[in-house]
């Protein structure tokens, strides 16, 4: 691909919505979260390393990562979060490199939720950084509506992520998602047109 976009944004900002719109317009899209799920499904390529680092109690009888247990463990302990990320991120990066070659499209979009948090790791993998942005109050409302978490729980997750300001500073392309989905669709169409031009 002549052009690779790193698409990111805070929880509930609208990354998946933008990725789906770009995919529908023909862009090649690879999603770090989807790859992380595959890596930690039964037989997944990260299971052995997770078991070694965290113990067999983190693996379900079916052989998958016990997501609830891991979420609780890393939430309470930054060192554990770091250990998990050091297992997952290199493998996600490798899978993305392998799949990029097999992904059709005039340009490639890598959806990376924690791109700004891990900028040194991802900087060289992408040509541009696109950030989906909306006020934090909207992130909270959207996540609450989707998940059943309460506002304090969403805020606690947001506190583990980069600040809105840090993401905005890292952005080459800022995608405002503070209005309705029709407005997001229009912005995404314009962005796609620009990426097609850049990809030549
Ligand atoms: P996460 O980081 O949690 O995966 P995300 O950044 O991928 O979230 P989405 O899943 O795209 O965000 O959006 C979060 C929720 O908000 C979804 O239910 C989505 O349908 C809704 N949503 C996104 N954008 C808008 C909008 N402009 N207006 C109303 N609802 C929206």
| Per-residue confidence (pLDDT) for residue 90, from 0 to 100 | 94
Instruction: Confirm if 58 and 70 have CB atoms less than 8 A apart.
Output: yes
| Per-residue confidence (pLDDT) for residue 1, from 0 to 100 | 80
| pLDDT confidence bin for 66, thresholds 50/70/90 | very high
pLDDT single digits (tens) 24-38: 999 999 999 999 999
Q: Mean pLDDT in the chain?
A: 96
Give mean pLDDT, residues 169-198. Answer: 98
pLDDT single digits (tens) 151-173: 999 999 999 999 999 999 999 99
76, pLDDT greater than 90: no
Q: Which of 67-81, 121-135, 185-199 has the lowest mean pLDDT?
A: 67-81
Domain range list for the chain: 1-27+105-200, 36-104
% of the chain exceeding 90 in pLDDT = 96
Ligand 1 contact, 180 CB (< 6 A): yes
Smallest CA separation from ligand 1 atom 18, residue: 146
Say which residue the tokens 């405002």 belong to: 176
The DSSP letter of residue 123 is: G
Query: Cα dist. 105→8, 15, 30, 145, 197 in Å?
Result: 19, 19, 11, 33, 13
Give mean pLDDT, residues 56-67. Answer: 97
Smallest CA separation from ligand 1 atom 2, residue: 11
Interface ipTM: 0.97
The DSSP bridge pattern shows strands 28-31 and 108-111 to be parallel
Please choose, from the candidates 149, 130, 131, 142, the residue with its C-alpha nearest in 3D space to the C-alpha of residue 198: 130
Identify the bridge partners of residue 5 per DSSP, sorted by sequence position.
109, 128
Please choose, from the candidates 43, 20, 45, the residue with its C-alpha nearest in 3D space to the C-alpha of residue 95: 45
| Per-residue confidence (pLDDT) for residue 75, from 0 to 100 | 86
| Per-residue confidence (pLDDT) for residue 81, from 0 to 100 | 92
Instruction: Confirm if 194 and 106 have CB atoms less than 8 A apart.
Output: no
| pLDDT confidence bin for 189, thresholds 50/70/90 | very high
| Measured torsion, CA atoms of residues 184, 134, 73, 147, in degrees rounded to the nearest 10 | -60
Smallest CA separation from ligand 1 atom 20, residue: 17
CATH class of 1-27+105-200: alpha beta
Secondary element (H or E) of residue 9: strand 4-9
* 47-54 and 67-76 helices, crossing angle to 10°: 50
Instruction: Confirm if 34 and 92 have CB atoms less than 8 A apart.
Output: no
Ligand 1 contact, 140 CB (< 6 A): no
Atom of ligand 1 minimally distant from the CA of 132? 6
pLDDT single digits (tens) 93-115: 999 999 999 999 999 999 999 99
């Amino acid at each position: 691909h002549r052009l690779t976009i790193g698409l990111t944004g805070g929880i509930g900002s609208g990354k998946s919505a933008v990725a789906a719109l770009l995919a529908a317009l023909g862009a090649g899209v690879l999603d770090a979260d989807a790859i992380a799920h595959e890596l930690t499904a039964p037989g997944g390529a990260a299971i052995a390393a997770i078991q070694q680092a965290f113990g067999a109690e983190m693996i379900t009888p079916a052989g998958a990562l016990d997501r609830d247990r891991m979420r609780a463990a890393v939430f309470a302990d930054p060192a554990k979060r770091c250990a998990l990320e050091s297992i997952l991120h290199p493998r996600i990066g490798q899978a993305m490199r392998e799949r990029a070659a097999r992904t059709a499209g005039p340009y490639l979009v890598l959806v990376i939720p924690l791109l700004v948090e891990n900028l040194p790791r991802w900087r060289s993998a992408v040509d541009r950084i696109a950030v989906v942005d909306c006020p934090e109050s909207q992130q909270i409302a959207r996540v609450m509506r989707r998940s059943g978490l309460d506002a304090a729980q969403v805020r606690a997750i947001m506190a583990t992520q980069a600040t809105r300001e840090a993401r905005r500073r890292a952005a080459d392309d800022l995608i405002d998602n503070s209005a309705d989905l029709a407005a997001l669709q229009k912005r995404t169409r314009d962005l796609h047109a620009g990426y097609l031009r850049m990809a030549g």
